[in-house]
Structure 1
Amino acid sequence: MNRYSKLSMLAIAVAAATMGVSAQAQDKVLNLYSARHYQTDEVMYDTFTRTTGIKINRVDADDAGIVARLRAEGAASPADVILLVDAARLAVADSQGLFQPIKSAKLDAAIPANLRAAATPDGVTWTGFSTRARVIVYDPARVKAEDVATYEQLADPKLKGMVCTRSGSHPYNLSLFATVVERLGDQKGEAWLKGVVDNMARAPKGGDTDQIKGVASGECAVAVTNTYYVARLIKSDKAEDQAVMNKVRVSFPNQGTSGTHVNIAGAAVAKYAKNRDNAIQFMEFLSSPFAQDYFANGNNEFPAVKGLKIDNPAISKMGGDNFKAETVPLGVVAKNMTKVQQMMDRVGYK
């Protein structure tokens, strides 16, 4: 072999080695687009990296910003895993073809089927990893507990002029309404929405915390909110927040029937994920008891894993330790979103 041949062979060997190092480095990376912005999640991510050697590169934005970025990047997107808050938002992103289905025996065993997208022969496109309940907050001086024991009672004329909500089109409400319509059917569901509108104390506005404060101030007597907003006020060291919670009570609706509506924070593998195996490994890690503790308690939520309980005094104080949760599949509910939005337009729900 002459000198030039030896140099050529050396160049090929170096190139091969370099490609191998690049491939190895690629194997140790996970690009995460997250709509969750909680400091407790940092410990969870750091633990994943320490135990697997996979470095997480994170992009933080709100749900709408992440979806817009994915659409703009297309096939060039570096995203491997997408974390979004609310089943409606996950469903919208899924309908736009931004996720890919995966198969995982670990996730199938850990996460209830009703907290995931509907399964197909190719797998599941998104999975819930924490849940929050949508509860009724009421003023016990004006409303009896038995009058707000179900979502259906929000349309009862007995509550005329007493109900406050945020926008009906907000994903938190849209998911709840789509679930009620799934249970009641289209005709009764639309009539129920009309009844809720008729019972409004004022036009929908503000966020969930505003609804709780509206009940405490007397602006209304009944409101709907996610449990973690209640927990934040319970944990607050501000006197005004404690004053709010002293004036309201919490009802976990439909305990005697279908159970209280729950929604999710969830994740999916991006359609064009370059590190697919790492993405699935991360998804499976999120279902571990360790990650579930951080994933749920980071926002005063509940774990999604079957049978797993998280100790949270604020949740206990509001009566959320052992409530009955509904089992209507969120993947099915997601398909009702457009139909329910049209119903709300017809009944004047802003």
Structure 2
Amino acid sequence: MKKLLTLSALACSTIAPVAMAAEEVNVYSYRQPFLVEPMFDEFTKETGIKVNVKFAKKGLAEKLAQEGEYSPADVILTVDISRLAELTDKKLVQKVDSKVLEKNIPAQYQDKDNEWFALTTRTRSVYSSRDRVGRLGDDFTYSDLAKPEFKGKICTRSGKHPYNVSLVSSMIAHKGEAETKEWLKGVKANLARKPQGNDRAQVKAIKEGLCDVSLGNSYYLGKMVNNPEQKVWADAVYINFPNQKTTGTHVNISGMAMAKHSPNKEHALKLMEFLAGDKAQSMYAEVNYEYPVKPGVKRSELVASWGDFKADTISLDEIASHHAAAIKLLDEVKFDL
């Protein structure tokens, strides 16, 4: 009997840690802690599954590749289609079949092979000075940024930042490489200064009179409005949605994927489906001023105040396929120099 009890105790000591380990999911995230941690807390509250997170600003693809089959990562959260495409190109993620994800996320915002899924959308908008320019109107297009009337009036961050690379990629998808290269030459000629800083720095430059228009993601306006030091920048501009009478405004995403060697696949799927559900989508909308990807989920009051717009319907897979060409063109025109 004593021997049996000893064996039983050993068995329990072996099994218990495995059971505990199974009640968790590991996330690698480019998204900032303040944005995703409230959602993870809610997920844990509902499911009992603990979420462990490693935050990074860069290098997640390299880390996953280095870890290989021993990687603890289950779910990867990132921003921009280019970073999601990098994960699929390097075969660091796996296919996910889910009726919930298929229903909640429009096909335009899913990988054709179900290897990544969008969580939110944001526009690549054009900000304009309230005092010196006013609203740009529904006739305004991205192509107009290359016109002589904007000579010395444009500010932007690096052309090779993923947000701008995706915009250039969308231009290639619609107009081809030759026309896009001429457009880039025109925009470069119209720059008020060498590309630098982030999207908010460009709006600050408009407030300071260094330029009149800038490229920037839509959610930055919400961030500036709610920052006491930056609200004066936001108050100095209008947000504009280009291409309303043509192809529609370029839309990019934040998204998620399941790591190729996920050790907790069942829980990883539960987390992905939660993030695509009503509660998490509403939290994204309120906290980060992004557009929920799930149809029917309300925008935040502030984002709704910016008005409706027509979004470009070209697939993000198509845009991602032109990223290498976009970088090549940016180099050829020496956009950042």
TM-score scaled by structure 2?
0.92
Q: How many angstroms does 1:297 deviate by?
A: 2.5
- The answer to whether 1:316 aligns with 2:304 is yes
- Equivalent positions of 1:29-40 (< 5 A) are 29-40=24-35
- The answer to whether 1:114 aligns with 2:108 is yes
1:266-290 deviation line (CA, Å, top 9, x unaligned) = 1111111100111111100001110
Where does residue 276 of structure 2 map in the other structure? 287
Q: How many angstroms does 1:255 deviate by?
A: 1.6
Counterparts of 2:34 and 2:321 in 1: how far apart (Å)?
Answer: 33
Distance verdict in 2 for CA 1:164–1:147, change over 3 Å: farther
Where does residue 37 of structure 2 map in the other structure? 42
Counterparts of 1:113 and 1:21 in 2: how far apart (Å)?
Answer: 41
Distance verdict in 2 for CA 1:75–1:244, change over 3 Å: same
- The answer to whether 1:95 aligns with 2:84 is no
Q: How many angstroms does 1:112 deviate by?
A: 1.1
- AA aligned opposite 1:311: S
Where does residue 347 of structure 1 map in the other structure? 333
Where does residue 139 of structure 1 map in the other structure? 129
Q: Contact 2:110 / 2:118 at 8 angstroms: preserved in 1?
A: yes
Q: Contact 2:218 / 2:239 at 8 angstroms: preserved in 1?
A: no
Q: Contact 1:41 / 1:298 at 8 angstroms: preserved in 2?
A: no
Q: Contact 1:87 / 1:334 at 8 angstroms: preserved in 2?
A: yes
- The answer to whether 1:338 aligns with 2:330 is no
Where does residue 249 of structure 1 map in the other structure? 238
Counterparts of 1:11 and 1:193 in 2: how far apart (Å)?
Answer: 74
Where does residue 128 of structure 1 map in the other structure? 118
1:107-157 deviation line (CA, Å, top 9, x unaligned) = 01110122122x23xxx1111101111110112443352497211111122
Counterparts of 1:87 and 1:143 in 2: how far apart (Å)?
Answer: 32
Indicate the SS of the match to 2:235: helix
- AA aligned opposite 1:139: S
In angstroms, what is the RMSD of aligned CA positions? 2.1
Where does residue 56 of structure 2 map in the other structure? 61
Counterparts of 1:19 and 1:303 in 2: how far apart (Å)?
Answer: 44
TM-score scaled by structure 1?
0.89
Q: Contact 1:167 / 1:173 at 8 angstroms: preserved in 2?
A: yes
Residues 194-203 or 283-292, more deviating: 194-203
Counterparts of 2:138 and 2:48 in 1: how far apart (Å)?
Answer: 54
Where does residue 210 of structure 1 map in the other structure? 201
- AA aligned opposite 1:142: R
Indicate the SS of the match to 1:178: helix
- AA aligned opposite 2:334: G
Where does residue 171 of structure 1 map in the other structure? 162
Where does residue 292 of structure 2 map in the other structure? 303
Q: Contact 1:151 / 1:253 at 8 angstroms: preserved in 2?
A: yes
- AA aligned opposite 2:93: F
Counterparts of 1:169 and 1:249 in 2: how far apart (Å)?
Answer: 25
Q: How many angstroms does 1:12 deviate by?
A: 5.6
Q: Contact 2:81 / 2:166 at 8 angstroms: preserved in 1?
A: yes
Q: How many angstroms does 1:221 deviate by?
A: 1.2
Q: Contact 2:138 / 2:242 at 8 angstroms: preserved in 1?
A: no
Q: Contact 1:100 / 1:269 at 8 angstroms: preserved in 2?
A: yes
Indicate the SS of the match to 1:213: helix
Q: How many angstroms does 1:295 deviate by?
A: 2.4
Counterparts of 2:328 and 2:6 in 1: how far apart (Å)?
Answer: 65
- Equivalent positions of 1:182-193 (< 5 A) are 182-193=173-184
Q: How many angstroms does 1:44 deviate by?
A: 1.3
- The answer to whether 1:74 aligns with 2:68 is yes
Q: Contact 2:138 / 2:243 at 8 angstroms: preserved in 1?
A: no
- AA aligned opposite 1:272: H
Q: Tell me the percent identity.
A: 37
Distance verdict in 2 for CA 1:198–1:148, change over 3 Å: farther
- The answer to whether 1:229 aligns with 2:220 is yes
Q: How many angstroms does 1:245 deviate by?
A: 2.9
Counterparts of 2:32 and 2:139 in 1: how far apart (Å)?
Answer: 33
Residues 36-45 or 289-298, more deviating: 36-45
Q: Contact 1:71 / 1:98 at 8 angstroms: preserved in 2?
A: yes
1:303-348 deviation line (CA, Å, top 9, x unaligned) = 11123222232x234x14x222212111221111111100111122
